[in-house]
Amino acid sequence: MKSGSPGLGRTLGRVKRNGGLYLLLLPAFVLTLLFAYKPMYGVLIAFKDYSPALGIGDSPWAGFKHFEKFFNSYQFFTTIKNTIVISLYSIATFPIPIVLALMVNQMRPNRFRRFFQTVSYMPHFISTVVMVGLMLILLSPSTGLVGNLYKLFGAEAPDLIGSAAWFSSLYVWSDVWQHVGWDSIIFIAALSTVDPSLYEAATVDGASRWHKIRYIDLPMLMPTAITLLILRVGGLLGVGFEKVYLMQNDLNITASEILSTYIYKIGLLSSQYSFSSAVNLFNTVINFLLLILVNQISKKYSENSLW
């Protein structure tokens, strides 16, 4: 007890000296407890036959019954495969914001550069509902832009929105168009911290523009890029629900049924609360394990990691 007193005294003294900062931190700390940690009690639903009338505490225990039901269901491999395909496809486009940031960084700070950045950021502020609505209108085989182009050549337009083979490409590349400018901001900010004297020294040494990008810009971007890539891989099974659900229809359901839409349908539409909670918990655990794994790999082979 005595040995711990000096450490406790130092801690209390540090808190007292920085009382204002801790006071600013208090609302965020309370909100995190209330909305991030307190709801974790509801995870018990996944291990029970939950009944709203009985509540979480009084509902009978079911063990791993709901997990086994999901693993043995015909939807297991379909939802996992579709989720992984879309996620890996999205991760493959990860370098595009980096390329855009390098392009913007090479532009002279003039009106064109500001205009270019503004135009590339604007699609990010389009809501998901409006975005999918635009896709449905433009890709309509009868009245859309694609349909009219095919009619010019006397051909029949394909139903891209209703095609399972095209679903992942439409989802990913529309996402790239909408968010590439916004995602490049953090890389542009990282490049703005580069000391101009490095470029001057490289110019004196006869370095070309490509040499500057390779030996100055890219090394400066690597820590930021690796951190964001770790976070992206950590959410491998966490493909966004809203856009997929809005794009989903009976024709492309074989490629568009992912974990999040499946959880929504069995949980809220079918009222299978325990089963949907088990599927969601499985999703969360896999993402958490992937985050730890990728972080450890990054720590082993590079100097960058989340912790």
Within a domain: 14: no
Q: Which of 288, 259, 287, 290 is nearest to 275 (CA)?
A: 259
Structure tokens at 251: 């024709």
pTM listed for this prediction: 0.85
Per-residue pLDDT of the chain (307 residues; tens, 9 = 90+): 445 566 777 888 888 888 888 899 999 999 999 998 998 898 999 999 998 888 888 899 999 999 999 999 989 999 999 999 999 999 999 999 999 999 998 888 778 888 898 899 999 999 999 999 999 999 988 888 888 888 888 888 888 899 999 999 999 999 999 999 999 999 999 998 888 888 889 889 888 889 989 999 999 998 889 988 888 888 888 888 899 999 999 999 999 999 999 999 998 888 899 999 999 999 989 988 988 988 888 888 777 777 7
Within a domain: 54: yes
pLDDT in tens, 166-175: 999 999 999 9
Compute the distance between CA of residue 280 and CA of residue 83 in angstroms, rounded to an integer. Answer: 13
Within a domain: 126: yes
Within a domain: 4: no
CB 294 within 8 A of CB 234: yes
Domain count, the chain: 1
Q: Is 242 exposed, middle or buried (0-12, 13-18, 19+ CB in 10 A)?
A: middle
Within a domain: 288: yes
Residue identified by tokens 């891989």 is 233
SS3 at position 48:
strand
- Give helix 218-234 / helix 75-92 axis angle, nearest 10°: 170
Structure tokens at 48: 């029970």
Q: What is the DSSP letter of 42?
A: G
Q: What is the DSSP letter of 44?
A: G
CATH number at residue 57: 1.10.3720.10
Within a domain: 38: no
Q: Which residues are bridge partners to 187 per DSSP?
A: none
Q: Which residues are bridge partners to 123 per DSSP?
A: none
Enclosing domain of residue 111: 48-301
Within a domain: 6: no
CB 267 within 8 A of CB 42: no
Sign of CA dihedral 10, 12, 13, 14: positive
CB 192 within 8 A of CB 89: no
User: What integer pLDDT is reported at residue 155 of this predicted model?
Assistant: 85
Q: What share of the chain is helix, strand, coil (3-state, %, to 5)?
A: 75, 0, 25
The full 3-state SS of 12-27, as one line of letters, equals: HHHHHHCHHHHHHHHH
Cβ count near 165 (within 10 Å): 11
SS3 at position 61:
strand
Within a domain: 36: no
- Tell me, rounded to whole angstroms, the distance of Cα 261 from its chain centroid: 16
Q: Is 35 exposed, middle or buried (0-12, 13-18, 19+ CB in 10 A)?
A: exposed
% of the chain exceeding 70 in pLDDT:
98
User: What integer pLDDT is reported at residue 1 of this predicted model?
Assistant: 43
